[in-house]
Chains A and B, each alone.
Chain A
Amino acid sequence: MAENQSSVVSAKNLGLTFQTNDGPVNALTGVNLDVRKGDFVSFIGPSGCGKTTFLRVIADLERATEGQILVNGTTPEDARKNRSYGYVFQAAALYPWRTIEKNIALPLEIMGYSKDEQKKRIEHTLSLVNLSGFGKKYPWQLSGGMQQRASIARALAFDADLLLMDEPFGALDEIVRDHLNQQLLELWARTNKTICFVTHSIPEAVYLSTKIVVMSPRPGRVTDVIESTLPKERPLDIRETPEFLAIAHRVREGLKAGHSYDD
Protein backbone atom coordinates (compact mmCIF):
# COMPACT_ATOMS: atom_id res chain seq x y z
CA MET A 1 0.00 0.00 0.00
CA ALA A 2 3.05 2.27 0.25
CA GLU A 3 2.64 3.37 -3.35
CA ASN A 4 -0.92 4.47 -2.60
CA GLN A 5 0.30 6.93 -0.02
CA SER A 6 0.45 9.80 -2.52
CA SER A 7 -2.03 8.20 -4.87
CA VAL A 8 -5.28 10.19 -4.82
CA VAL A 9 -7.25 7.94 -7.14
CA SER A 10 -6.17 4.42 -7.91
CA ALA A 11 -8.36 2.17 -10.05
CA LYS A 12 -7.53 -1.46 -10.65
CA ASN A 13 -9.34 -3.35 -13.37
CA LEU A 14 -12.39 -1.22 -12.67
CA GLY A 15 -15.64 -2.07 -14.43
CA LEU A 16 -19.21 -0.83 -14.22
CA THR A 17 -22.26 -2.34 -15.85
CA PHE A 18 -25.62 -0.55 -15.60
CA GLN A 19 -28.61 -2.82 -15.40
CA THR A 20 -31.24 -1.14 -17.56
CA ASN A 21 -34.61 -2.19 -18.87
CA ASP A 22 -33.03 -2.83 -22.26
CA GLY A 23 -30.45 -5.13 -20.71
CA PRO A 24 -27.01 -4.48 -19.24
CA VAL A 25 -24.97 -1.48 -20.46
CA ASN A 26 -21.24 -1.91 -20.03
CA ALA A 27 -20.20 1.69 -19.27
CA LEU A 28 -16.64 0.97 -18.08
CA THR A 29 -14.39 -2.00 -18.35
CA GLY A 30 -10.82 -2.84 -17.30
CA VAL A 31 -9.88 0.68 -16.23
CA ASN A 32 -6.44 0.93 -14.61
CA LEU A 33 -5.43 4.38 -13.55
CA ASP A 34 -3.31 6.07 -10.95
CA VAL A 35 -3.85 9.73 -10.18
CA ARG A 36 -1.11 11.17 -7.95
CA LYS A 37 -1.30 14.08 -5.60
CA GLY A 38 -1.04 17.37 -7.47
CA ASP A 39 -1.83 15.82 -10.87
CA PHE A 40 -4.06 17.57 -13.36
CA VAL A 41 -5.69 14.71 -15.22
CA SER A 42 -7.91 15.23 -18.25
CA PHE A 43 -10.32 12.62 -19.53
CA ILE A 44 -11.07 12.85 -23.22
CA GLY A 45 -13.06 10.61 -25.50
CA PRO A 46 -16.19 10.46 -27.63
CA SER A 47 -19.63 10.82 -26.12
CA GLY A 48 -20.75 7.79 -24.16
CA CYS A 49 -17.30 6.43 -23.42
CA GLY A 50 -17.83 6.57 -19.68
CA LYS A 51 -16.03 9.78 -18.63
CA THR A 52 -18.88 11.01 -16.48
CA THR A 53 -19.43 7.53 -15.13
CA PHE A 54 -15.80 7.26 -14.04
CA LEU A 55 -15.95 10.61 -12.25
CA ARG A 56 -19.18 9.54 -10.57
CA VAL A 57 -17.54 6.32 -9.38
CA ILE A 58 -14.74 8.36 -7.79
CA ALA A 59 -17.39 10.55 -6.17
CA ASP A 60 -19.38 7.58 -4.84
CA LEU A 61 -22.38 8.60 -6.94
CA GLU A 62 -22.15 5.22 -8.73
CA ARG A 63 -20.75 1.92 -7.48
CA ALA A 64 -18.24 -0.06 -9.55
CA THR A 65 -19.41 -3.58 -10.33
CA GLU A 66 -15.92 -4.99 -10.92
CA GLY A 67 -12.38 -4.37 -9.79
CA GLN A 68 -11.49 -1.91 -7.10
CA ILE A 69 -10.95 1.77 -6.62
CA LEU A 70 -9.35 3.75 -3.82
CA VAL A 71 -9.79 7.47 -3.27
CA ASN A 72 -7.28 9.01 -0.88
CA GLY A 73 -6.42 5.44 0.07
CA THR A 74 -9.99 4.67 1.22
CA THR A 75 -13.19 3.56 -0.42
CA PRO A 76 -15.04 6.23 -2.42
CA GLU A 77 -17.76 6.14 0.25
CA ASP A 78 -15.36 7.01 3.04
CA ALA A 79 -13.73 9.64 0.86
CA ARG A 80 -17.14 11.20 0.27
CA LYS A 81 -17.97 11.08 3.94
CA ASN A 82 -14.65 12.79 4.65
CA ARG A 83 -15.74 15.47 2.18
CA SER A 84 -12.48 15.05 0.37
CA TYR A 85 -13.59 16.22 -3.08
CA GLY A 86 -15.49 19.02 -4.74
CA TYR A 87 -17.62 18.12 -7.75
CA VAL A 88 -18.42 20.47 -10.62
CA PHE A 89 -21.23 19.04 -12.71
CA GLN A 90 -21.77 19.35 -16.43
CA ALA A 91 -24.62 21.80 -15.64
CA ALA A 92 -24.20 24.50 -13.01
CA ALA A 93 -26.96 23.05 -10.77
CA LEU A 94 -27.28 26.21 -8.70
CA TYR A 95 -30.29 26.38 -6.42
CA PRO A 96 -32.55 29.02 -7.97
CA TRP A 97 -33.94 30.29 -4.66
CA ARG A 98 -30.46 31.09 -3.33
CA THR A 99 -28.35 34.07 -4.30
CA ILE A 100 -24.89 33.32 -5.72
CA GLU A 101 -23.25 33.84 -2.33
CA LYS A 102 -25.87 31.68 -0.65
CA ASN A 103 -25.22 28.98 -3.24
CA ILE A 104 -21.53 29.10 -2.41
CA ALA A 105 -22.44 29.03 1.27
CA LEU A 106 -24.47 25.83 0.80
CA PRO A 107 -21.62 23.33 1.36
CA LEU A 108 -20.20 25.57 4.07
CA GLU A 109 -23.52 25.58 5.97
CA ILE A 110 -23.77 21.83 5.67
CA MET A 111 -20.19 21.31 6.80
CA GLY A 112 -20.67 23.59 9.77
CA TYR A 113 -18.36 26.50 8.98
CA SER A 114 -18.91 29.58 11.18
CA LYS A 115 -20.70 32.61 9.72
CA ASP A 116 -17.47 34.64 9.67
CA GLU A 117 -15.58 31.86 7.97
CA GLN A 118 -18.38 31.48 5.43
CA LYS A 119 -18.22 35.16 4.60
CA LYS A 120 -14.46 35.09 4.14
CA ARG A 121 -14.58 32.05 1.90
CA ILE A 122 -17.46 33.38 -0.20
CA GLU A 123 -15.54 36.57 -0.89
CA HIS A 124 -12.34 34.70 -1.60
CA THR A 125 -13.83 32.16 -4.01
CA LEU A 126 -15.96 34.79 -5.76
CA SER A 127 -12.80 36.71 -6.57
CA LEU A 128 -11.06 33.50 -7.66
CA VAL A 129 -13.67 32.99 -10.37
CA ASN A 130 -13.96 36.71 -11.14
CA LEU A 131 -17.47 37.14 -9.82
CA SER A 132 -16.82 39.69 -7.08
CA GLY A 133 -19.83 41.95 -6.80
CA PHE A 134 -22.27 39.35 -8.09
CA GLY A 135 -22.81 37.62 -4.76
CA LYS A 136 -26.23 39.15 -4.16
CA LYS A 137 -27.59 38.20 -7.59
CA TYR A 138 -29.84 35.24 -8.22
CA PRO A 139 -28.73 32.58 -10.74
CA TRP A 140 -31.26 33.67 -13.38
CA GLN A 141 -29.67 37.12 -13.38
CA LEU A 142 -26.33 35.65 -14.54
CA SER A 143 -25.19 34.37 -17.93
CA GLY A 144 -24.59 30.66 -18.39
CA GLY A 145 -20.83 31.14 -18.15
CA MET A 146 -21.14 33.13 -14.94
CA GLN A 147 -23.41 30.46 -13.48
CA GLN A 148 -20.84 27.81 -14.31
CA ARG A 149 -18.12 29.88 -12.64
CA ALA A 150 -20.33 30.24 -9.59
CA SER A 151 -20.65 26.47 -9.45
CA ILE A 152 -16.86 26.20 -9.56
CA ALA A 153 -16.62 28.70 -6.73
CA ARG A 154 -19.04 26.53 -4.77
CA ALA A 155 -16.77 23.49 -5.25
CA LEU A 156 -13.70 25.50 -4.21
CA ALA A 157 -15.26 27.02 -1.09
CA PHE A 158 -14.47 24.13 1.24
CA ASP A 159 -11.16 22.40 1.82
CA ALA A 160 -11.19 19.47 -0.55
CA ASP A 161 -7.86 18.54 -2.11
CA LEU A 162 -9.49 16.78 -5.02
CA LEU A 163 -11.54 18.61 -7.62
CA LEU A 164 -13.72 16.58 -10.01
CA MET A 165 -14.86 18.63 -12.99
CA ASP A 166 -17.21 17.27 -15.64
CA GLU A 167 -16.96 19.42 -18.77
CA PRO A 168 -17.23 22.59 -16.72
CA PHE A 169 -16.50 24.84 -19.69
CA GLY A 170 -18.34 22.79 -22.30
CA ALA A 171 -21.07 25.37 -22.86
CA LEU A 172 -18.82 28.44 -22.96
CA ASP A 173 -17.40 30.42 -25.87
CA GLU A 174 -13.75 30.14 -26.84
CA ILE A 175 -12.60 33.42 -25.28
CA VAL A 176 -14.23 32.89 -21.91
CA ARG A 177 -12.95 29.37 -22.00
CA ASP A 178 -9.33 30.42 -22.61
CA HIS A 179 -9.60 32.85 -19.75
CA LEU A 180 -11.08 30.27 -17.39
CA ASN A 181 -8.47 27.71 -18.43
CA GLN A 182 -5.73 30.13 -17.44
CA GLN A 183 -7.43 30.90 -14.16
CA LEU A 184 -7.89 27.23 -13.45
CA LEU A 185 -4.20 26.55 -14.04
CA GLU A 186 -3.25 29.42 -11.73
CA LEU A 187 -5.59 28.13 -9.10
CA TRP A 188 -4.23 24.63 -9.43
CA ALA A 189 -0.61 25.84 -9.16
CA ARG A 190 -1.44 27.98 -6.14
CA THR A 191 -3.54 25.49 -4.21
CA ASN A 192 -1.77 22.28 -5.13
CA LYS A 193 -5.12 20.55 -5.59
CA THR A 194 -5.49 17.37 -7.58
CA ILE A 195 -7.87 17.85 -10.49
CA CYS A 196 -9.78 15.33 -12.62
CA PHE A 197 -11.20 17.16 -15.59
CA VAL A 198 -13.48 15.87 -18.34
CA THR A 199 -13.39 17.61 -21.71
CA HIS A 200 -14.16 17.11 -25.39
CA SER A 201 -11.54 19.59 -26.51
CA ILE A 202 -8.06 18.34 -27.42
CA PRO A 203 -6.35 21.75 -27.01
CA GLU A 204 -8.01 22.21 -23.63
CA ALA A 205 -6.87 18.80 -22.46
CA VAL A 206 -3.28 19.31 -23.61
CA TYR A 207 -3.08 22.87 -22.29
CA LEU A 208 -4.29 22.01 -18.81
CA SER A 209 -3.06 18.54 -18.02
CA THR A 210 -0.09 16.80 -16.56
CA LYS A 211 -1.72 13.56 -17.64
CA ILE A 212 -4.24 12.93 -20.42
CA VAL A 213 -6.46 9.86 -20.31
CA VAL A 214 -7.82 8.93 -23.73
CA MET A 215 -10.96 6.80 -23.62
CA SER A 216 -13.08 4.98 -26.18
CA PRO A 217 -16.65 3.70 -26.08
CA ARG A 218 -18.55 0.42 -26.27
CA PRO A 219 -17.36 -0.73 -23.85
CA GLY A 220 -15.91 2.36 -22.16
CA ARG A 221 -12.21 1.86 -21.56
CA VAL A 222 -8.89 3.66 -21.36
CA THR A 223 -6.93 3.40 -24.60
CA ASP A 224 -3.97 5.67 -23.82
CA VAL A 225 -2.50 7.58 -20.90
CA ILE A 226 -0.23 10.41 -21.97
CA GLU A 227 2.15 12.07 -19.49
CA SER A 228 2.58 15.66 -20.54
CA THR A 229 6.09 16.98 -21.05
CA LEU A 230 4.99 20.62 -20.95
CA PRO A 231 6.35 22.79 -18.12
CA LYS A 232 4.12 23.73 -15.23
CA GLU A 233 4.25 27.39 -16.26
CA ARG A 234 1.97 27.64 -19.34
CA PRO A 235 1.21 30.90 -21.12
CA LEU A 236 -1.64 30.66 -23.64
CA ASP A 237 0.75 30.78 -26.64
CA ILE A 238 2.37 27.56 -25.53
CA ARG A 239 -0.38 26.09 -27.70
CA GLU A 240 1.62 26.99 -30.82
CA THR A 241 4.82 25.20 -29.76
CA PRO A 242 5.86 21.96 -31.52
CA GLU A 243 5.90 20.16 -28.18
CA PHE A 244 2.26 21.07 -27.58
CA LEU A 245 1.27 20.06 -31.10
CA ALA A 246 3.06 16.74 -30.76
CA ILE A 247 1.06 15.86 -27.66
CA ALA A 248 -2.16 17.04 -29.32
CA HIS A 249 -1.32 14.81 -32.27
CA ARG A 250 -0.88 11.79 -30.04
CA VAL A 251 -4.24 12.47 -28.36
CA ARG A 252 -5.90 12.75 -31.75
CA GLU A 253 -4.35 9.45 -32.86
CA GLY A 254 -5.56 7.82 -29.68
CA LEU A 255 -9.10 9.07 -30.28
CA LYS A 256 -9.00 7.85 -33.88
CA ALA A 257 -7.84 4.41 -32.81
CA GLY A 258 -10.74 4.26 -30.39
CA HIS A 259 -13.19 5.21 -33.11
CA SER A 260 -11.97 2.64 -35.65
CA TYR A 261 -13.03 -0.01 -33.15
CA ASP A 262 -16.56 1.01 -34.01
CA ASP A 263 -16.45 0.26 -37.75
Chain B
Amino acid sequence: MKTLRTKVWPVLAVLVVIIAAWYAAALLMNRTIAVEEAARKGEVLTTQEMWLKSYRLDKPLLPAPHQIVTEIWNSTATMSITSKRSLVYHAWITLSATLLGFALGTVLGIALAVGIVHNRAMDKSMMPWVIASQTIPIMAIAPMLIVVLNAIGISGLLPKALISTYLSFFPVVVGMVKGLRSPEILQLDLMHTYNASRTDVFWKLRFPAAIPFLFASLKVGIAISLIGAIVGELPTGAVAGLGARLLSGSYYGQTIQIWAALFVSSIVAGLLVFIVGGVERLVYRMMGARPEATA
Protein backbone atom coordinates (compact mmCIF):
# COMPACT_ATOMS: atom_id res chain seq x y z
CA MET B 1 0.00 0.00 0.00
CA LYS B 2 2.82 2.32 0.87
CA THR B 3 4.48 1.89 -2.50
CA LEU B 4 1.15 2.71 -4.14
CA ARG B 5 0.98 6.00 -2.33
CA THR B 6 4.62 6.98 -2.52
CA LYS B 7 5.55 5.66 -5.93
CA VAL B 8 2.52 5.13 -8.16
CA TRP B 9 0.50 8.27 -7.45
CA PRO B 10 3.24 10.81 -8.17
CA VAL B 11 3.99 9.07 -11.45
CA LEU B 12 0.31 8.97 -12.42
CA ALA B 13 -0.14 12.62 -11.53
CA VAL B 14 2.74 13.62 -13.78
CA LEU B 15 1.36 11.37 -16.54
CA VAL B 16 -2.04 13.09 -16.41
CA VAL B 17 -0.40 16.50 -16.68
CA ILE B 18 1.71 15.37 -19.64
CA ILE B 19 -1.29 13.92 -21.49
CA ALA B 20 -3.33 17.05 -20.94
CA ALA B 21 -0.50 19.25 -22.19
CA TRP B 22 -0.07 16.89 -25.14
CA TYR B 23 -3.69 17.21 -26.25
CA ALA B 24 -3.46 20.96 -25.95
CA ALA B 25 -0.27 21.04 -28.00
CA ALA B 26 -1.73 18.67 -30.62
CA LEU B 27 -4.70 20.95 -31.03
CA LEU B 28 -2.54 24.04 -31.43
CA MET B 29 -0.19 22.41 -33.91
CA ASN B 30 -2.73 20.52 -36.02
CA ARG B 31 -5.42 23.20 -36.11
CA THR B 32 -4.17 24.93 -39.23
CA ILE B 33 -3.73 21.66 -41.13
CA ALA B 34 -7.29 20.71 -40.26
CA VAL B 35 -8.65 24.09 -41.32
CA GLU B 36 -6.67 24.12 -44.58
CA GLU B 37 -7.71 20.60 -45.45
CA ALA B 38 -11.34 21.59 -44.97
CA ALA B 39 -10.89 24.80 -46.94
CA ARG B 40 -9.53 22.81 -49.88
CA LYS B 41 -12.83 20.94 -49.94
CA GLY B 42 -14.66 24.23 -49.57
CA GLU B 43 -15.89 23.55 -46.05
CA VAL B 44 -15.92 25.86 -43.11
CA LEU B 45 -15.45 24.16 -39.76
CA THR B 46 -17.24 24.96 -36.55
CA THR B 47 -15.03 25.10 -33.47
CA GLN B 48 -16.18 21.65 -32.40
CA GLU B 49 -15.50 20.14 -35.84
CA MET B 50 -12.08 21.72 -35.87
CA TRP B 51 -11.27 20.12 -32.51
CA LEU B 52 -12.36 16.70 -33.62
CA LYS B 53 -10.58 16.96 -36.94
CA SER B 54 -7.33 18.08 -35.31
CA TYR B 55 -7.27 14.83 -33.38
CA ARG B 56 -8.12 12.65 -36.40
CA LEU B 57 -5.71 13.76 -39.10
CA ASP B 58 -3.87 11.07 -41.08
CA LYS B 59 -0.61 12.98 -41.02
CA PRO B 60 -0.82 15.36 -38.10
CA LEU B 61 2.09 17.52 -37.09
CA LEU B 62 1.77 16.08 -33.62
CA PRO B 63 -0.38 12.96 -33.26
CA ALA B 64 -2.70 12.84 -30.27
CA PRO B 65 -1.87 10.20 -27.64
CA HIS B 66 -4.87 8.03 -28.50
CA GLN B 67 -3.77 7.93 -32.16
CA ILE B 68 -0.37 6.65 -31.13
CA VAL B 69 -1.84 4.09 -28.75
CA THR B 70 -4.24 2.90 -31.45
CA GLU B 71 -1.42 2.60 -33.96
CA ILE B 72 0.68 0.60 -31.47
CA TRP B 73 -2.30 -1.62 -30.73
CA ASN B 74 -3.03 -2.21 -34.40
CA SER B 75 0.57 -3.00 -35.24
CA THR B 76 1.19 -5.33 -32.31
CA ALA B 77 -1.84 -7.07 -30.89
CA THR B 78 -3.95 -7.42 -34.00
CA MET B 79 -1.19 -8.67 -36.25
CA SER B 80 0.95 -11.77 -36.58
CA ILE B 81 4.35 -11.03 -35.09
CA THR B 82 6.05 -12.31 -38.22
CA SER B 83 4.32 -9.71 -40.35
CA LYS B 84 6.58 -7.02 -41.80
CA ARG B 85 4.16 -4.45 -40.44
CA SER B 86 4.20 -5.77 -36.89
CA LEU B 87 5.97 -3.55 -34.41
CA VAL B 88 6.76 -6.64 -32.35
CA TYR B 89 8.71 -7.97 -35.32
CA HIS B 90 10.60 -4.71 -35.75
CA ALA B 91 11.20 -4.37 -32.02
CA TRP B 92 12.63 -7.88 -31.94
CA ILE B 93 15.03 -7.12 -34.80
CA THR B 94 16.32 -4.10 -32.92
CA LEU B 95 16.28 -5.85 -29.58
CA SER B 96 18.44 -8.73 -30.78
CA ALA B 97 21.09 -6.29 -32.03
CA THR B 98 20.80 -4.39 -28.75
CA LEU B 99 21.34 -7.47 -26.62
CA LEU B 100 24.24 -8.78 -28.66
CA GLY B 101 25.90 -5.35 -28.66
CA PHE B 102 25.27 -4.92 -24.96
CA ALA B 103 26.79 -8.31 -24.16
CA LEU B 104 29.86 -7.56 -26.27
CA GLY B 105 30.16 -4.06 -24.79
CA THR B 106 29.93 -5.37 -21.25
CA VAL B 107 32.60 -8.01 -21.85
CA LEU B 108 34.84 -5.50 -23.62
CA GLY B 109 34.29 -2.88 -20.91
CA ILE B 110 35.09 -5.28 -18.08
CA ALA B 111 38.15 -6.62 -19.91
CA LEU B 112 39.50 -3.10 -20.49
CA ALA B 113 38.84 -2.12 -16.88
CA VAL B 114 40.64 -5.20 -15.59
CA GLY B 115 43.60 -4.33 -17.82
CA ILE B 116 43.64 -0.71 -16.75
CA VAL B 117 43.53 -1.59 -13.05
CA HIS B 118 46.19 -4.29 -13.26
CA ASN B 119 48.62 -2.97 -15.83
CA ARG B 120 50.49 0.28 -15.38
CA ALA B 121 51.07 0.79 -19.09
CA MET B 122 47.39 0.34 -19.87
CA ASP B 123 46.46 2.59 -16.97
CA LYS B 124 48.61 5.36 -18.43
CA SER B 125 47.64 4.87 -22.08
CA MET B 126 44.08 3.56 -22.41
CA MET B 127 41.81 6.00 -20.65
CA PRO B 128 42.34 8.99 -22.96
CA TRP B 129 41.49 6.79 -25.94
CA VAL B 130 38.42 5.41 -24.26
CA ILE B 131 37.21 8.94 -23.58
CA ALA B 132 38.18 10.17 -27.05
CA SER B 133 36.13 7.36 -28.59
CA GLN B 134 33.00 8.88 -27.09
CA THR B 135 33.68 12.39 -28.31
CA ILE B 136 33.17 11.34 -31.92
CA PRO B 137 29.48 11.66 -32.76
CA ILE B 138 27.92 8.24 -33.19
CA MET B 139 26.04 9.55 -36.23
CA ALA B 140 29.43 9.99 -37.91
CA ILE B 141 30.82 6.60 -36.94
CA ALA B 142 27.75 4.50 -37.64
CA PRO B 143 27.50 4.92 -41.45
CA MET B 144 31.25 4.37 -41.90
CA LEU B 145 31.27 1.26 -39.79
CA ILE B 146 28.25 -0.20 -41.52
CA VAL B 147 29.51 0.58 -45.00
CA VAL B 148 32.97 -0.80 -44.26
CA LEU B 149 31.58 -3.97 -42.73
CA ASN B 150 29.16 -4.37 -45.62
CA ALA B 151 32.07 -4.09 -48.03
CA ILE B 152 33.82 -7.03 -46.39
CA GLY B 153 30.65 -9.03 -46.43
CA ILE B 154 29.37 -8.53 -42.90
CA SER B 155 25.84 -7.26 -42.75
CA GLY B 156 22.65 -7.66 -40.79
CA LEU B 157 22.79 -8.09 -37.04
CA LEU B 158 26.50 -7.72 -36.29
CA PRO B 159 27.21 -4.22 -37.63
CA LYS B 160 24.28 -2.80 -35.68
CA ALA B 161 25.35 -4.70 -32.58
CA LEU B 162 28.87 -3.28 -32.92
CA ILE B 163 27.49 0.23 -32.76
CA SER B 164 25.69 -0.72 -29.55
CA THR B 165 28.99 -2.14 -28.31
CA TYR B 166 30.78 1.05 -29.23
CA LEU B 167 28.39 3.05 -27.08
CA SER B 168 27.86 0.66 -24.19
CA PHE B 169 31.43 -0.36 -23.39
CA PHE B 170 32.16 3.18 -22.23
CA PRO B 171 30.06 3.39 -19.06
CA VAL B 172 31.18 -0.14 -18.20
CA VAL B 173 34.89 0.73 -18.42
CA VAL B 174 34.47 3.90 -16.41
CA GLY B 175 32.29 2.25 -13.76
CA MET B 176 34.40 -0.88 -13.46
CA VAL B 177 37.70 0.99 -13.19
CA LYS B 178 36.19 2.95 -10.33
CA GLY B 179 34.63 -0.18 -8.83
CA LEU B 180 37.74 -2.33 -9.04
CA ARG B 181 39.63 0.45 -7.30
CA SER B 182 36.95 0.93 -4.65
CA PRO B 183 38.24 -1.46 -1.94
CA GLU B 184 39.56 0.36 1.10
CA ILE B 185 43.27 0.30 1.91
CA LEU B 186 42.49 -1.80 4.97
CA GLN B 187 40.73 -4.46 2.89
CA LEU B 188 43.71 -4.55 0.52
CA ASP B 189 46.20 -4.63 3.40
CA LEU B 190 44.36 -7.64 4.77
CA MET B 191 44.93 -9.47 1.48
CA HIS B 192 48.57 -8.42 1.58
CA THR B 193 49.03 -9.97 5.04
CA TYR B 194 47.77 -13.27 3.60
CA ASN B 195 50.27 -12.95 0.76
CA ALA B 196 47.28 -13.35 -1.57
CA SER B 197 47.86 -13.64 -5.32
CA ARG B 198 46.51 -11.01 -7.70
CA THR B 199 43.94 -13.51 -8.87
CA ASP B 200 42.69 -13.99 -5.32
CA VAL B 201 42.64 -10.24 -4.69
CA PHE B 202 40.62 -9.83 -7.88
CA TRP B 203 38.01 -12.52 -7.33
CA LYS B 204 37.68 -12.25 -3.58
CA LEU B 205 37.92 -8.48 -3.18
CA ARG B 206 38.04 -6.24 -6.23
CA PHE B 207 35.29 -7.89 -8.26
CA PRO B 208 32.70 -8.22 -5.49
CA ALA B 209 33.45 -4.65 -4.42
CA ALA B 210 32.85 -3.48 -8.00
CA ILE B 211 29.41 -5.08 -8.38
CA PRO B 212 27.37 -1.99 -7.41
CA PHE B 213 29.41 0.10 -9.86
CA LEU B 214 28.92 -2.53 -12.55
CA PHE B 215 25.13 -2.45 -12.26
CA ALA B 216 25.01 1.33 -12.32
CA SER B 217 26.99 1.14 -15.57
CA LEU B 218 24.88 -1.67 -17.01
CA LYS B 219 21.69 0.35 -16.59
CA VAL B 220 23.16 3.17 -18.63
CA GLY B 221 24.79 0.69 -21.01
CA ILE B 222 21.62 -1.23 -21.90
CA ALA B 223 19.68 1.96 -22.62
CA ILE B 224 22.33 3.38 -24.93
CA SER B 225 22.78 -0.02 -26.56
CA LEU B 226 19.20 0.30 -27.79
CA ILE B 227 19.93 3.79 -29.09
CA GLY B 228 23.01 2.41 -30.82
CA ALA B 229 21.03 -0.34 -32.54
CA ILE B 230 18.40 2.13 -33.74
CA VAL B 231 21.05 4.55 -35.00
CA GLY B 232 22.69 1.60 -36.77
CA GLU B 233 19.48 1.00 -38.71
CA LEU B 234 19.23 4.54 -40.03
CA PRO B 235 22.17 4.97 -42.43
CA THR B 236 21.69 1.75 -44.38
CA GLY B 237 18.06 2.37 -45.03
CA ALA B 238 17.37 -0.89 -43.27
CA VAL B 239 14.02 -2.48 -44.00
CA ALA B 240 13.48 -3.95 -40.58
CA GLY B 241 13.85 -2.69 -37.03
CA LEU B 242 12.54 0.25 -35.06
CA GLY B 243 15.07 2.52 -36.77
CA ALA B 244 13.72 1.42 -40.14
CA ARG B 245 10.21 2.29 -39.01
CA LEU B 246 11.39 5.74 -37.93
CA LEU B 247 13.09 6.20 -41.28
CA SER B 248 10.24 5.06 -43.50
CA GLY B 249 7.84 7.04 -41.33
CA SER B 250 9.78 10.21 -41.96
CA TYR B 251 10.07 9.52 -45.72
CA TYR B 252 6.33 9.36 -46.07
CA GLY B 253 5.43 11.89 -43.39
CA GLN B 254 3.78 9.15 -41.33
CA THR B 255 4.06 10.96 -38.03
CA ILE B 256 1.83 8.47 -36.24
CA GLN B 257 4.10 5.63 -37.32
CA ILE B 258 7.17 7.55 -36.15
CA TRP B 259 5.68 8.23 -32.77
CA ALA B 260 4.50 4.65 -32.38
CA ALA B 261 8.04 3.42 -33.08
CA LEU B 262 9.42 5.98 -30.62
CA PHE B 263 6.98 4.84 -27.95
CA VAL B 264 7.78 1.20 -28.49
CA SER B 265 11.51 1.88 -28.31
CA SER B 266 11.13 3.76 -25.06
CA ILE B 267 8.93 0.99 -23.67
CA VAL B 268 11.60 -1.55 -24.66
CA ALA B 269 14.31 0.63 -23.09
CA GLY B 270 12.28 0.92 -19.91
CA LEU B 271 11.76 -2.83 -19.77
CA LEU B 272 15.46 -3.50 -20.32
CA VAL B 273 16.51 -1.12 -17.55
CA PHE B 274 13.84 -2.67 -15.33
CA ILE B 275 15.20 -6.16 -16.00
CA VAL B 276 18.77 -5.08 -15.23
CA GLY B 277 17.46 -3.52 -12.01
CA GLY B 278 15.76 -6.79 -11.12
CA VAL B 279 18.93 -8.77 -11.69
CA GLU B 280 20.75 -6.20 -9.60
CA ARG B 281 18.39 -6.68 -6.67
CA LEU B 282 18.74 -10.43 -6.98
CA VAL B 283 22.52 -10.28 -6.99
CA TYR B 284 22.52 -7.88 -4.02
CA ARG B 285 20.32 -10.27 -2.07
CA MET B 286 22.69 -13.12 -2.86
CA MET B 287 25.58 -10.95 -1.65
CA GLY B 288 23.82 -10.36 1.65
CA ALA B 289 23.25 -6.63 1.30
CA ARG B 290 21.08 -4.90 3.86
CA PRO B 291 17.50 -4.91 2.59
CA GLU B 292 17.18 -1.11 2.46
CA ALA B 293 20.49 -0.75 0.66
CA THR B 294 19.05 -2.53 -2.38
CA ALA B 295 16.41 0.11 -3.07
Contact = CB atoms under 8 A, between A and B. Distances in A.
A87 B194 CA distance: 9
Nearest to A137: B288
A83 B196 CA distance: 10
Interface of A: 59-61, 80-81, 83, 85-87, 89, 91, 93, 95-99, 106-107, 109-111, 138, 140
Given A83-B194, A110-B194, A95 B205 contact: yes
B187 A95 contact: yes
Nearest to B200: A110
Q: How extensive is the interface on chain B, given as a class?
A: 20 to 34
Contact of B287 (A80, A85, A97): A97
Nearest to A80: B195
A80 B288 contact: no
A87 B193 contact: yes
Nearest to B192: A61
Nearest to B293: A140
Contact of B288 (A59, A91, A138): A138
Closest 6 CB pairs of A and B: A138-B288, A97-B287, A93-B186, A87-B193, A97-B208, A110-B196
A89 B189 contact: yes
Nearest to B286: A97
A83 B189 contact: no
B66 interface: no
Contacts of A98: 288
Contact of A93 (B187, B194, B195, B208): B187
B290 interface: yes
Interface string B188-224: 0111111111001000110010010000000000000
Max chain B Cβ within 10 angstroms of own Cβ: one of A85, A97, A140: A97
Contacts of A99: 288
A89 B208 contact: no
Contacts of B192: 60-61, 80
Contact of A83 (B190, B191, B195): B195
Nearest to B211: A97
Contacts of B288: 96-99, 138
Contact of A109 (B186, B195, B204): B204
Contacts of B204: 95, 106, 109-110
Nearest to A81: B195
A225 to B, nearest CB: 26
A162 to B, nearest CB: 11
Contacts of A85: 193
A81 to B, nearest CB: 5
Interface of B: 184, 186-187, 189-197, 200, 204-205, 208, 211, 287-290
Contacts of A107: 194
A71 to B, nearest CB: 12
Contact of A89 (B190, B200, B289): B190
Nearest to B186: A93
Contacts of A87: 189-190, 193
A18 to B, nearest CB: 14
A138 B291 CA distance: 12
A99 B186 CA distance: 18
Contacts of B194: 83, 106-107, 110-111
Contacts of B196: 110
Contacts of A140: 290
Max chain A Cβ within 10 angstroms of own Cβ: one of B187, B191, B195, B204: B195
Contacts of A95: 187, 204-205, 208
Contacts of A59: 193
A85 B190 CA distance: 11
Given A95-B187, A97-B288, A138-B288, A61 B208 contact: no
16 contacts: A61-B189, A61-B192, A83-B195, A86-B193, A87-B189, A87-B193, A89-B189, A91-B186, A93-B186, A96-B288, A97-B287, A97-B289, A99-B288, A106-B204, A109-B204, A111-B194
Given A110-B194, A110-B204, 9 more contacts: A60-B192, A80-B193, A81-B195, A89-B189, A89-B190, A93-B187, A97-B289, A109-B204, A110-B191
A255 to B, nearest CB: 27
